[in-house]
Chain A
Amino acid sequence: MRRAFVSACAAALIVTFTAAGCTTSTSERPGPAQPQRDTAAKSSRSEGRELTDAERVLVQRAEQLLIKECMEGEGFKYWVGPLPTVDDLKGGGYVLTDADWAKRHGYGSRLEEKLQDAQRSDPNHAYANGLPQKERVRYGKTLEGGPSGGMLTAELPGGGTVQTPRHSCLSKAKEQLYGDFETWFRAEKTTTNLTDLYVPDLLEDKRFVSALKEWSACMREAGHGYADPPEIRAELPELTKGLSPDASHAVEVKLAVDEAVCATKTPLSATAHALDEKYRDELRATYGDAIATYEHMSLAALDRAEDITGDMA
């Protein structure tokens, strides 16, 4: 009973916002004047594409600078970062295909530890948690917003909805970067949640299954008996249990390099990349508008991020 009511509520919110002009298409939306529209138009002329990892880091840095400016404007302290390096953004996929990365980082355990330290020692946490209760609440509301300012709801392609506050320093920074926060929020939620829809099919695709068998045979020749890459990740804690940090890293690197080498020596890497693209392309029939909006807005944000980091750095 309760679920039905919640779903109805979410649907009503979506209808309301759509009626107010929150479609995923930027070009036809009347809306208020966007000062950055020129840049968006310039970027949208070129072919859409995803940002490179280096570009993502730049956009993230610009976003942090804008948040800092906004928070300081409200009387709070704010520290930029932590920010990822390009190497930090790799390694989390189904299979490693970059042997050089694997040689440097194994499966990325040390990068993960570094990330953990950065997350735990983020000075913003200590600062926020050290504020008097009333100010702490105002801090949270200023940084991330609150329900009283209105919430945006996005439906995820695989099911479920997510919400975000309309007004906050975070949404303001995104608005400055992407041009329109509502449109960006919906497009981003759709585009970055498409994997649920096609990965199960991809994993069962006979071309993938056959490539995986070749990879597994290659691994066996290298001395590792694994049916697929997730099996290695699942077993890794057991394999490195009780070892010194250096010995543990060595075990990880050996396996990771062999995994990546086998992925490129056999058809696994090429097949996985080709199928990933093919299945995503098929989803364009349904989600093409959101994907195009996501790509164009990302490129427009990159243009602005270059200016912002140049001016504010």
Chain B
Amino acid sequence: MRKILAAAATLGLAGLGVIVPATAAQASAACDTAWRNAASGYFYAYDYDSCSGTLGLDDDNDANWSDTSGSFQSGDNDDAQSILHKGTSGMAVKVYRHASYGGGHTCLKKSEYYMDDLTGHTYTDGSGVNVSISSHKWVWESDCGKFLNS
């Protein structure tokens, strides 16, 4: 397996070896490796399937992936094709279709590790998650999957 360390170095992610899958059989293996090397307490999003091409990592919320603040900026908007969760606490990461936590949403819970291909995943408004994430925040797990909660 070929490690593309240059990309990781450019992004300042020393030690994160991103493995480009040669075949689909390696798809999950690549995310497994990314997960194993990920820093605890962080949410990661990737430009491509199989946790390759890191767009950014965040232990914070980011209300707008298309602005110039936060861990995800401008070109990251509507770009993520796979995501990963390495929080050690019991929180989930809620990703949204629009900025300011608007539009449909979906959650990646701690126990779910990663989504190695967002194609086929849908937001609560029925639209697709792939190349469509515009904001994210950390939430309690029970905040996920409810239309009303008061």
List A residues at the B interface (Cβ < 8 Å): 2-3, 5-6, 9, 53, 56, 60, 63-64, 81-84, 88-98, 101, 112, 115-116, 118-120, 122, 124-125, 128-129, 136-137, 140-141, 143-144, 146-147, 151, 156, 158-160, 162-165, 170-171, 174, 185, 191-196, 199-200, 202-203, 230, 233-237, 272-273, 276
Contact A200 B125 (CB under 8 A): yes
Give the distance in Å from the alpha carbon of A147 to the alpha carbon of B32 in the complex: 7
Residues in A whose Cβ lies below 8 Å from that of B120? 159-160
Contact A5 B124 (CB under 8 A): no
Residues in A whose Cβ lies below 8 Å from that of B126? 158, 196, 199-200
CB distance from B85 to the nearest CB of A (A): 10
Q: Which of A82, A112, A191 contacts B137 (CB 8 A)?
A: A112
Given contacts A81-B89, A115-B140, contact A140 B146 (CB under 8 A): no
Beta-carbon nearest neighbor of B139 in chain A: A92
Residues in A whose Cβ lies below 8 Å from that of B23? 5
14 extra A-B contacts, CB within 8 A, seeds A3-B119, A56-B142, A118-B89: A92-B139, A92-B149, A124-B40, A124-B41, A136-B40, A140-B36, A144-B111, A158-B121, A159-B120, A160-B122, A195-B146, A233-B101, A237-B100, A272-B148
List B residues at the A interface (Cβ < 8 Å): 23-25, 27-29, 32, 35-36, 39-41, 49, 59-61, 63, 86-91, 98-104, 106, 110-126, 129, 137-150
Residues in B whose Cβ lies below 8 Å from that of A64? 90
Give the distance in Å from the alpha carbon of A137 to the alpha carbon of B39 in the complex: 10
Q: Which of A83, A90, A196, A202 contacts B150 (CB 8 A)?
A: A90
Q: Which of A82, A95, A164, A234 contacts B113 (CB 8 A)?
A: A164
Residues in B whose Cβ lies below 8 Å from that of A200? 125-126
Give the distance in Å from the alpha carbon of A195 to the alpha carbon of B126 in the complex: 9
Contact A60 B90 (CB under 8 A): yes
Contact B60 A116 (CB under 8 A): yes
* Prevailing SS type, chain B contact patch: loop
Give the distance in Å from the alpha carbon of A200 to the alpha carbon of B126 in the complex: 6
Contact A233 B102 (CB under 8 A): yes
CB distance from B140 to the nearest CB of A (A): 5
Residues in B whose Cβ lies below 8 Å from that of A163? 28, 112-114
Give the distance in Å from the alpha carbon of A174 to the alpha carbon of B112 in the complex: 14
Q: Which of B28, B49, B88, B148 contacts A147 (CB 8 A)?
A: B28
Residues in B whose Cβ lies below 8 Å from that of A120? 41, 59-60
Contact A129 B100 (CB under 8 A): no
Given contacts A89-B149, A144-B113, contact A124 B32 (CB under 8 A): no
CB distance from B41 to the nearest CB of A (A): 3
Contact A165 B113 (CB under 8 A): yes
Contact B146 A93 (CB under 8 A): yes
Q: Which of A129, A144, A185 contacts B41 (CB 8 A)?
A: A129
Residues in A whose Cβ lies below 8 Å from that of B28? 147, 151, 163
Give the distance in Å from the alpha carbon of A123 to the alpha carbon of B68 in the complex: 30
Q: Return the 5 tightest CB-CB contacts between A and B, nearest first.
A: A125-B41, A192-B145, A160-B121, A200-B126, A128-B40
Q: Which of B32, B35, B140, B150 contacts A101 (CB 8 A)?
A: B150
Contact B147 A94 (CB under 8 A): yes
Give the distance in Å from the alpha carbon of A276 to the alpha carbon of B146 in the complex: 9
Contact A170 B27 (CB under 8 A): no
Beta-carbon nearest neighbor of A230 in chain B: B102
Given contacts A116-B60, A119-B87, A199-B126, contact A146 B138 (CB under 8 A): no
Give the distance in Å from the alpha carbon of A174 to the alpha carbon of B141 in the complex: 14
CB distance from B45 to the nearest CB of A (A): 16
Residues in B whose Cβ lies below 8 Å from that of A156? 121
Given contacts A95-B148, A116-B61, contact A125 B88 (CB under 8 A): yes
Contact A93 B89 (CB under 8 A): no
Given contacts A119-B91, A159-B120, contact A234 B102 (CB under 8 A): yes
